[in-house]
Amino acid sequence: MDRGIGWWLTKHAVNSASRTALVQGERRRTYAELNARADQLSAALYAAGVRHGDRVASLALNGIEHVETLFAVAKLGAIFVPNNYRLSGEEVAYNLSDSGAVVLVVSSELASLAAAALAVPGVHVRHVVSIGGTVPEGTDAIEYEAFLASGSTAARDDDVSIDDLALIMYTSGTTGRPKGAVITHATIQTNAVHAVTMGPGLSRDDVTTTPAPLFHIGGLMVHTLPLLYVGGRVVLLEGFDATGTLTAMAQERATVQFLVPAMWHAITRHPDFASFDLSALRFCLSGGAPCPITVIEFLQGHGWQFLEGFGMTETCANTMALSPEDAVRKQGSVGRPMMHAEAKIVDDDDREVRVGTVGELVMRGPSMFRGYWGLPVATAEAWRGGWFHSGDLGKVDDEGFYTLVDRKKDMVITGGENVYPIEVEQVLFRHPSVADVAVIGVPDERWGEAVVAVVVAAPGAEVDQAELVAYARERLAHFKCPRRVEVLAELPRTATGKVLKRELRKTYTGQEQSVTR
C-alpha cells in the first residue's frame, strides 16, 4: 500500500505545512490546509457511499475546490472524471453515463449545463455538490462547503495502490463518440517526474499560473499537478485572458509558465506587455499546437528560456520536449522522448522505418494511459504490440528529434482543443441543405487552426453559411463548429470513395500536409 497521489498532500502537510499550495484571487491554501480539507472531503464522499473504484465527476471552472476534489477522490481510491464545460448537455451526459459517475461536483456558473446533462436518460448520478449558491434545477444539490463540513476531520487510512485507476479523461473519438482514457496514480506520478526533469526543471520554489482548463490534460498535468508534487505554488485562474494572466504572473511572481500557442500569441501582442513585471520568470513552455517562430523569438528576446512539449491525453501530457537550446535550430520538431518514454516510427505493418522516413508515431512507457474505459477492442487496437499507436504520422532525424507531418485521424487543433472532423461532419450531414461534407483545419493566426466545413449542396438547395454555423452551434460545443463554410460542386475522392482531404487542404491552405503538436 503506497496510497497513490493523495499521499503527496499527506507528506507535504508535514514537510511543507506552511507553504502556499494554491491561490485563487484573494484565497490561499497552505499545504496543511489543502491536505486537511481533502481528507475531510474524502470522508464526506465515503459517508455518501463512494467506495474504492467508484467514479466522481466534476463540471467545474478552475478553482481550489476542483483541486481539493481531485485529491479527496484520490485519497479514497475512487476515480476522478473531469468534464469539459464547453460541451453541450448531451455530450456531458454521455460522459457521466459512460463512466457511471455517482457524484457530480459542479460550479454554480455551470448549473444550467449540469441540469441539462443530468436530465438525459441513462445518467445515474446519486449526489450533486454545488460550488457556490446556484444549484442545478431539478436536483437536491448540497452546497460544497456544507458537504465538506459533513465529513469527519479524522484522516482516513484507505488502501490505495500506485497502480490503481485515478482518472478518466474523455477525449473525442473518431467514430463520433468520446473515449475515456484511463490514467493510473503511477502514470500521474511519472508525468510529474517528467515535468520536474524537463529542461531547466521544477522545484518547490517555483510558481505558475494555470489559466488552461483543468479538465484538459495540459492544464492539469503540465505544471499544475507536477508543482503540487514538488511542493510549489499554483495560481488558479478561472479562464484565460491576456490581461488577467499577465497580471497574475506579475503579482504572484510566476517563475514558470505553460500556455498553448494561441495564449502565448495573445500575451505577446498585449499592448501593455512591457508594463508587467515578469522578472521572476525562468522559462516559458508551449504545447498543444505549433508555436509560431515569431512568438518563440519574442519570448527568447526578453531573456526567457523557451521549451516546447508534446503529449496527448493518452500519454498524460509530458512525453517529448524540445529544449531551449534547440527551440529555433529544430523549430517544427516536437523534440525527443523524455526520461521514461520511448518512441519510434513504424510502417503499416508496425515495422520500424529508417531515419527520415514518414510513418506512424508509436510510444510506450510508464507515463502512458492504461486503456479506454469500457472499450477493450479499442484499447487492444491502440496498444498493438505493446506500443501506443498515436495515429500521428511523423519522422525522426539522425539526432533523435521527432517531427509530425500529418495525422491519420485528420484531427484539428484549435486554441489547444482537439476537434475530430467526423464528429462535426455527422452533425452537418443532418442539415437538409447539405448533401456531402468534409471538415478540415486551416491555419489561423489566433487559434493555431480554424475549423472549415467544405460542403456540397443538396439538389435544389442553397447553403447559407450563417445558418449552417448556427445549426452546428446548437448541437456541438462552439469550439468544434466551423468558422467558415466553403461550397463545392463535389468533393474530391479516391476510386474507392474516400475523401481526399489533402486536396482540400491544398485548395484552402496551399499545402497538402496538416501539422499537429
Give yes or no for residue 156 having a pLDDT over 50.
yes
| pLDDT tens for each residue of 62-108 | 999 999 999 999 999 999 999 999 888 999 999 999 999 999 999 99
- Across the range 122-130, mean pLDDT stands at 97
Q: CA-CA distance, 128 to 480, in Å (whole number)?
A: 28
How far apart, in whole angstroms, are the C-alpha atoms of residue 219 and residue 198? 16
Q: Which residue has the higher pLDDT, 495 or 236?
A: 236
Q: 52 to each of 43, 73, 74, 107, 167, how far by Cα in Å?
A: 12, 9, 9, 25, 13
Q: Residue 84's pLDDT is what?
A: 92
- The residue with greater pLDDT, 449 or 496, is 449
pLDDT tens digits for range 307-344: 998 999 999 988 999 988 888 888 878 899 999 999 99
- List the end-to-end C-alpha distance of the chain, in Å, as a whole number: 37
**CATH dotted code for 412-509:** 3.30.300.30
Strand partners, 209: 235
User: Inter-axis angle of helices 31-47 and 6-15, to 10 degrees?
Assistant: 140
Q: What percent of the chain has pLDDT over 70?
A: 95
215: region left, alpha or beta (phi > 0 left; psi from -120 to 50 alpha): alpha
- Decide if pLDDT at 292 tops 50: yes
pLDDT averaged over every residue in the chain: 91
pLDDT at 155 over 50: yes
In the prediction, which pLDDT does 515 show?
46
Host H or E run for residue 175: none
Q: Which three cell numbers stand for residue 222?
A: 503540465
Query: What would the pLDDT profile of 346-378 be if each residue is shown by its tens digit?
Result: 998 999 999 999 889 999 999 999 999 999 999
CATH code of 33-184, in short, is 3.40.50.980
The β-bridge partners of 81 are 57
Q: Looking at the predicted structure, is the pLDDT value of residue 181 above 70?
A: yes
| C-alpha span between 167 and 182 (Å, rounded) | 6
Give the closest residue to 162 by CA, choosing from 182, 187, 180, 197: 187
Cα distance between residue 16 and residue 231, in whole Å: 7
Q: What is the Cβ-side half-sphere exposure of residue 282, based on CA atoms within 13 angstroms?
A: 12
User: Among 40-44, 221-225, 414-418, 507-511, which stretch is predicted with the lowest mean pLDDT?
Assistant: 507-511
Could you check whether 33-184 and 412-509 share the same CATH topology? no
Give 490 or 54, the one with higher predicted confidence. 54
pLDDT at position 517: 39
Q: Which residue has the higher pLDDT, 269 or 94?
A: 94
Q: What is the pLDDT of residue 252?
A: 98
Percent of the chain's residues with pLDDT above 90: 74
pLDDT value at position 227? 98
Closest by CA to 221, choosing from 70, 337, 333, 107, is 70
